[in-house]
Structure 1
Amino acid sequence: MFRLLLDDWRHAPTQRRVWALTAPLLLSNLSVPLVALVDTAVIGHLSHTHQLGAVAVGASLYTLLIWCCGFLRMGTTGFAAQASGRGDGAALRQLLVQVGLLSVALAVLLGLAALPLSDAALAVMAPSTALDDLAREYLHIRLLGLPAMLASQALIGWFLGAQNARAALAILLGINLLNLLLDLWFVLGLDWGVAGAARASVVAEWSGALLGLLLCRGELARHTGAFCLAPLRQWSQWRPLLAVNRDILIRSLLLQGVFFLVTVQGARLGDATVAANALLLNGLLLTAHALDGLAHALEALCGHAIGARDRVALRRSLVIAGGWSLLGSLAFALLFLLAGEHFLRLQSDMPEVLATAREYLPWLALLPLITVWSYLLDGLLIGATRAREMRDAMLLAAVLAVPAGWLLQGLGNHGLWLAFCLFMLLRSLGMAVLARRLWPRLGQADS
C-alpha cells in the first residue's frame, strides 16, 4: 500500500494537473482573508475598540448569509466537473442557467429575511450600544451587494468544474483587490469609517459579478453543445441539483451556526474578547482559504475523474492533494506558533485587544492540524456530488460539540476555543469514516 501511495505521489502528470488548478485558486483564495485582514487592520487603527468589534459582528452576520449559500458554488462544481469529464457541453449550459435562476431566487428570499433575522441576532449578542449601532449600519450597507455575491459564487463553481481556474481567479481577485483599494480610499482617504469599509465591499462585489458574466461567453465556446429550454420544465432535471444543494445548505447552516455561536459567546465576554477572537479567526480564515486552493482543485479533478470513470486518476488526485495539504497545515501551525505576535500586530495596535488575543494564540496554532482533513474530504465529496455524507458528518460534530461548549462555559474563552477545536476534530473524523465507506463505489456505475 505504501509503495502504491508513493508511486501516486510521484506521478508527474497528476502533480502538474493539481498545481495547474491549485496555483490560481490559491492566489484567489488568499485574497479573501487578506481583504478581511485589511478591513480589520484599517478599522483596528481607528480610535475606538467598538469600531473593530462592529466590523467583526457585522461581517460575521453577512458572512453567515453568504456561507449558508455556499452550495451555489460547491454544488455547481461537482456537477460541472462531471459534465466536463463526460464531454457534455449541453449539460454545462443547462447547469449555468439553473444556478443563475437559483442565485436570483435566493437573493430575493435572503434580502427579505436578513433584516429581521439580524435584529434578532444582535439582540441575542447583547453588545454595547455603540457597537450595536455601527454593526447594524455596516450590515445594512453590505446587504446591497448580496445579489452580486451570490451570482459570483455560482459562476466561480461553474468555472471551476469546467476546469477553468483562471476565470475563477479573475473573479475573486477582481472582487478582493478592488475591495482592498476602495477600503483604503473610503476609510482612510474619505474618512467614512465603518460605513466606508462596507461600501467598498458592495462596489467590489457588483464588479466581480459583471466580470464573471463577461467571461462566460469564452468558456462556452470551449464546450460544444446547445442549450435546450425544455429540460428546465422537468422536475427530474432539477431534483439532483436541488438535493445536493439542500444537503450542502444544511451542512453550511450548521457550520456557520457554530461560528456564530463563537461570536455570540465572545460578545458576551466583552468587547475586547470578541475583537480578539476576530483577530484569531482571521488566522483560521487565512489557513482555510489557502488549503481550500488544494481542496477546490480536488473537487474539479475528482469530479472529472468520476465523470470519466477513471479510478486511478481519482486516487492519484486524492493522494497528491492530501500530501500537499498536510505540508501546508504544518507550515501554518509553525507560522502561528512562532510569529503569531506579529500576525496580531498587523491587524491592530489596541493594547487591550492584543493582550487578550495573545493569551489564546496556541489554539490558533493547533487548528490547522485539525481542520486540514475536513477541507480535503470536502473536496472529494463535492467532486463526487455526495453532499449527504458532508451533511451527516457536520450534524454529528455539532450535536456532540455544542453541548460540550455549554458545559465548558466556566473556562471562559479557553472553554470556547476548546469546544471549537473539538467540533472541528469531530467533523474531520466523521467525514473520514463516511468517505472510507463510500470509496469503493466512486467512479463506478452509480457515480
Structure 2
Amino acid sequence: MTEAVVRPDMTPPLRLGHRRVLAIALPIVLSNVTVPILGAVDTGVVGQIGEAAPIGAVGVGAVVLAALYWMFGFLRMGTTGLTAQARGAGDAAEVAAMLTRVLMIAAAAGLGLIVLQGPLFTAALGIAPASAEVEGLASQYMAVRIWSAPATIALYGLTGWLIGQERTRAVLAIQLWMNGLNVALDLVFVLALGWGVPGVAAATVLAEWSGLILGLWLCRAAFRDIAWRAWARVFDRARLRHIAGVNTDILIRSMLLQGIMLSFLFVGAGFGDVPLAANQVLLQFLEITAYALDGFAFAAEALVGQAMGARSVAALRRGAVLTSGWGLVSVIGLAAAFAFGGGAIVDLMTTAPEVRAEARVYLPYMVAAPVAGLAAWMLDGIFIGATRTADMRNMMALSAAIYALAVALLVPVFGNHGLWLALLVAFVARGVTLGLRYPALEAAARSGQGG
C-alpha cells in the first residue's frame, strides 16, 4: 500500500512509492557523484606532478573554502525544507518568494567573502601546521577560487529550491555541465598549459559561474510570474523571522560539522606531508559516499517537507522508511566497491609511491565509513525536510563534543589510525543522537507544527 501525498500542481496526487523515490533520488545520485569525481580529478591531475606538496595544498585550500562556503549551506538545506513545505501546503506564491530571497542572500554573502578573503585565509592557515610549501601553494589556490564565491553560494540556494519541487533533473543538468567543464579545463590548464595548482582553481571558477548562469536559465519560468518580486511577501517579517531561525540553526550545525572536518585535516597535517596527502586521497572516498547517500537524503527532504506541509504523519513515515531503505542498499554497494577496488582508485589519484603506500594503510576505514554514516546522512535529510533544525543543531553540538573527546583519547595512542577512528565515532554519534529525536518530529507533524 502506498500513501498519497497532495501536491498543489498535480491532480490526482502522486503515489508515494519506490518509483517516486527513485525519480527524485537517481538524478541527485548521478549529479552528486560527479562532485567527488571532480575532487578526485583535481587530486589526480596535481598528483601527476609526482610530489606530495601540491596534493596537500589542493586539499587544504579546498577544505578551507568548503568550510567557508558551507557556513552558507543553510541556503541549500533550509530552502529545500521550506520550499517543500510551501509546496505541500499549496502556497505557490511562497515558493516563488523563496527563490528571490536565496539569490539576494547569496549575492551579499559571496561579496562579503571576497572582501574579507585576506583575514579569513590568514586565520585558516594560521591554525594549520602544514609545511611552508603546502601553505604557499594553498594560498595561491584560494586567492583564485574565492572569485566564484557568489556563484557557489547562489547554486546552493538554487539547488535547494529545485529539490524542494522535485525538479532533480534540472539539478543533474547543472552539475553535469559544470563538472564536465571543470574537468576539461583542469586537463587544459594543468596538464597542457602547466599552470599547476592555480590552474586547478581557475578551472573551478569558470565552471561555477557557468553553472549559475545555466541554473538561472532553468528557473526562468519563475521570473515570468510576478510573485517572485512581490516585495511585501519577500520581506514579510514573520516569514523572515522563521527563515532566520531555521537558517541560523543550520548555520551553527554546518559550522560544527565543518569544524570536525577541518580539525581532521589539521590534526592529520601534524603527522607530515605524506600522511596529509594520503588522508586527502582517502577523503575523496568519503566524498563519494556522502554525495551518493545525499541523493536519497535529498529525496527524504522533499518528501518529508511536503508531508509536513500537508500534515500527514503517514506520508512522513513512509517517505523516511523508503528513502532510508534505498540508502542502505547504496552503502552496502559502496563498502564492497571500496573493499575490492580501493587500491586501484588510490593509484589513479596519485603517482607518488609513498602516498600510495600510506593511503593503503588506512583504506579499511573507508570500507567502514559508509555503514557508520548511513543513519547520520539519512536523518539529516529527514530533519531538514521537517525543518526541525533546533534538534539538528543540538545533536550536532553533542556529536562534535563526542568527536573531540575521541580525538583526545585515541590520537595520542594510535596516531593517524586514532584520527580515522574518531571520525567514524562522530558519524555514529550523529546518527544515534538524531534518532533519539525522531519521535518528536512525528509529534510535530501530527500537531501541524513544523520546525
When the two structures are superposed, what TM-score results if normalisation uses the length of structure 2? 0.93
Q: Is this contact kept in 2: 1:310–1:443, CA < 8 A?
A: yes
Q: Deviations over 1:302-341 (max 9, x none)?
A: 1112212232222221111111111111111122122211
After superposition, residues 361-372 of structure 1 pair within 5 angstroms as 361-372=363-374
**SS class of match (1:157):** helix
Tell me the distance in 2 between the aligned counterparts of 1:126 and 1:358: 24
The reply to whether residue 243 of structure 1 matches residue 245 of structure 2 is: yes
Structure 1 residue corresponding to 2:377, chosen from 372, 375, 378: 375
Q: Is this contact kept in 2: 1:276–1:357, CA < 8 A?
A: yes
After superposition, residues 343-422 of structure 1 pair within 5 angstroms as 343-410=345-412, 411-422=414-425
Q: Is this contact kept in 2: 1:152–1:171, CA < 8 A?
A: no
Tell me the distance in 2 between the aligned counterparts of 1:13 and 1:61: 40
**SS class of match (1:125):** coil
**SS class of match (1:408):** helix
Aligned partner of 2:254: which letter? S
Aligned partner of 2:152: which letter? M
Tell me the distance in 2 between the aligned counterparts of 1:361 and 1:52: 18
Structure 1 residue corresponding to 2:23, chosen from 20, 26, 44: 20
Q: Is this contact kept in 2: 1:89–1:224, CA < 8 A?
A: no
After superposition, residues 329-348 of structure 1 pair within 5 angstroms as 329-348=331-350
Q: 1:274: how far off?
A: 0.6
The reply to whether residue 145 of structure 1 matches residue 148 of structure 2 is: yes
Q: Is this contact kept in 2: 1:90–1:224, CA < 8 A?
A: no
Q: Is this contact kept in 1: 2:113–2:146, CA < 8 A?
A: no
Q: Is this contact kept in 2: 1:156–1:171, CA < 8 A?
A: no
**Paired positions, count:** 438
Unpaired stretches in structure 2, ≥5 consecutive residues: 3-13
Identity %: 42
Q: Deviations over 1:56-108 (max 9, x none)?
A: 11111111112221101000001111111122221012111111111122113
Q: Which residue of 1 aligns with 2:275?
A: 273
Change (3 A) 1:116 1:302: same
Aligned partner of 1:351: which letter? P
Tell me the distance in 1 between the aligned counterparts of 2:202 and 2:323: 37
Q: Which residue of 2 aligns with 1:99?
A: 102
Q: Deviations over 1:360-391 (max 9, x none)?
A: 11111111111111111111111111111111
Q: 1:177: how far off?
A: 1.3
The reply to whether residue 119 of structure 1 matches residue 122 of structure 2 is: yes
Q: Is this contact kept in 2: 1:84–1:162, CA < 8 A?
A: yes
Q: Which residue of 2 aligns with 1:76?
A: 79
**SS class of match (2:351):** coil
Q: Which residue of 1 aligns with 2:11?
A: none
Q: Is this contact kept in 2: 1:266–1:277, CA < 8 A?
A: yes
Q: 1:191: how far off?
A: 1.2
Unpaired stretches in structure 1, ≥5 consecutive residues: 6-10
Tell me the distance in 1 between the aligned counterparts of 2:365 and 2:110: 36
Aligned partner of 1:90: which letter? A
Structure 2 residue corresponding to 1:42, chosen from 25, 41, 45: 45
Q: Is this contact kept in 2: 1:302–1:384, CA < 8 A?
A: yes
CA RMSD of aligned residues (A): 1.8
Of the structure 1 ranges 255-264 and 61-70, higher mean CA displacement relative to structure 2 is found in: 61-70
Tell me the distance in 2 between the aligned counterparts of 1:444 and 1:403: 38
Q: 1:407: how far off?
A: 2.5
Q: Deviations over 1:134-161 (max 9, x none)?
A: 1100011000111110011111111111
